[in-house]
Amino acid sequence: MADKVPEVKSEKEKKQISWTFSMDAALTETFLDAYGQNKKYGRVWDEAVYTSVQLAVLAKTQEQVEKAHITSRMRTMRKEYNSFTDLASRSGFGWDPIKQTITAPPSAWIELLADPKSNEKYKGFHDRGPKWPLDHLAIIFGNTYTSGSYSVGGIDSVDLTHMDSVPDLNVENEENNPVGLGEGETKNGTEKRKSSAMSENTLEEKRPHGKKVRVKEIVQDMTSAIGDLKKVVDLAARAEYVCEQVMKIEGFTKRYLRKAYTILMRNPIEKEIFLGGDLELKQEMVEELRDLIGDI
C-alpha cells in the first residue's frame, strides 16, 4: 500500500496571527450586526458573515485574516463563554453585574481550585469576568449553551425559562403534608386546595414559631431573586428583547435601527435607560445616535 501523501497547507493557512483588542472588537461587532439581521441559523452563521468580518478587521486594523483565523478565534471565545457559564451555574457561585466578576465564598473557591482540572479551567475567573463583554458573548454563543442553572446567594435556581409563574407554597399541614399540598390536591395540581377556616391567630397558636410566615417570606425572597436573575443572567434573551424594543421605534430605517441596537448593547447604562423609558424617550435616544450612525 502506498504511503499517504501528507496534506500541504497553503501559506494563508499556515500564517498565525495575534488578535488585538481592535481586531476582536471588529469581529464581535460584525457578528452582533449579523445577529440583528437574522444571519444565524441555529448554531450556523451565514457564510457571508465571515467575509464581512474579514473586511471589518481589515478596515479597522489593516490586518488580513482568513476564515480559519476567524473560526479559531470564535472557538477560543466560545470556550471562554462556556467555562464562565459552567462556573456561574455551580452552587455557591454567582455573577455580580456591577463589578463584572464571579462571586463566591473563599471556601468555595478553595474547594473548586483544589481539583487540577477545575483549577486549569476556572482559575482565570477568580478575579475577573470573561475576557470579552458578556453581553456580546451571550448573543453570539448563547444558544449553544443550554445546560445548567444559575444561583443567587448560594441557592440553586430552577429552570428560568419556565418561571413565568411561581406556585403558591403556603403550608396547609406541615406535620402530615410535608410537601405542602392541601387536602384534596393531587401532585400535578389539578385539584384545588381546600381553604383553611382557621384564623391567622389560630394558625399562629398552632405554629408557635411562625413557620407559615417564614415560608411565605422565603418564597417571596426566592421569587424576587429569580425574577432579578432572569433579567441579569439570561443575557441572550434580554438582548433579543432589547432588539425587539429598538426595532419597534418608528421613523427610522431598519438598517439605522440595527446600528442603534448594537450601539446601545455596548453601553449598559444607556441600554437600561432606554428600556426604562417611555416611547418618546426611546425615540429621542435613538435619534441622538444619528451623529454616530449617520443617515442610512
Strands 44-45, 94-96: pairing kind: unpaired
**What is the Cα–Cα distance from 34 to 48, expressed in whole angstroms?**
9
Q: Which three cell numbers stand for residue 186?
A: 393531587
Question: What residue type is 54 in one-letter code?
Answer: Q
C-alpha cell at 238: 434580554
Give the per-residue pLDDT at 240.
83
163, 226 Cβ separation under 8 angstroms: yes
Distances (CA, A) of 231 to 159, 246, 256: 14, 17, 26
- State the number of CA atoms in the 13 A half-sphere of 4 facing the CB: 3
- Residue 154 confidence (pLDDT): 30
* In the block, residue with C-alpha cell 443575557: 235
Task: Pick out the chain residues at pLDDT < 70.
Answer: 1-14, 143-236
Residue-level pLDDT at 295: 82
- pLDDT of 200: 46
What is residue 286's three-state secondary structure?
Answer: helix
Give 237-247 pLDDT, tens digit per residue. 778 888 889 99
| 49-107 per-position pLDDT tens digit | 999 999 999 999 999 999 999 999 999 999 999 999 889 888 889 888 777 788 899 99
User: What is 197-263 written as a DSSP string?
Assistant: -S-HHHHHHH-TT-HHHHHHHHHHHHHHHHHHHHHHH-HHHHHHHHHHHHHT-SSS-HHHHHHHHHH
Task: Look up residue 294 and give its DSSP letter.
Answer: -
The CA distance from 153 to 104, in Å, is 8
- How far CA 166 is from CA of 87, 162, 185, 222, in Å, comes to 26, 9, 17, 10
